[in-house]
Copies of this chain bind each other. A is one copy, B any other.
């Protein structure tokens, strides 16, 4: 594990922090939300760095992680939907997908209803790797929530959801809060 198991700093230190009341003419520092801008940067930086060591061992990058993750979360996903989720082009996706397929983490199947589609499914091997990669991230989240009031998880979740472009809300909600179907579509 890459995360130090050091004792958690006391959240009590959060009570009286300067949130406004700047010195300058334009209150640059006092803009509400400015701290969240920066915390988001640092939190995300550390968050995505969690699986990096493991990823490097496999010769994969973060893009591979994202693809594998979403395939595992929604087996049978189409290429088009993956592109939409990741916000990249098919030319960018292709080499990454090719890697994952060639190394046996993902299988592509011709769609049954629309034979133009190449549906993506994780193999057992792919599921196992996805699990390993996400583990340190889940650990980080669990530690961040440990000892907090029971409503924090729900409020954080709602906040993050509200941070997403409203146009994508329906899509994201379905992806995030829907069970991966137990289809028998494993390879092997």
Contact = CB atoms under 8 A, between A and B. Distances in A.
Dominant SS among interface residues on chain A: helix
A176 interface: yes
A161 B23 contact: no
Interface string A9-34: 11101100111111110101101111
Nearest to A167: B4
Contact of A42 (B46, B148, B168): B168
Interface string A86-128: 0100000000000000000000000000000000000011011
A35 to B, nearest CB: 5
B73 A38 contact: yes
| 6 nearest A-B residue pairs (beta carbon) | A144-B162, A21-B124, A33-B141, A43-B163, A39-B160, A33-B138
Given A5-B78, A35-B177, 18 more contacts: A5-B74, A20-B186, A21-B128, A22-B179, A23-B131, A32-B142, A32-B153, A33-B137, A35-B157, A36-B141, A37-B141, A39-B157, A40-B44, A40-B47, A43-B163, A144-B163, A145-B159, A145-B162
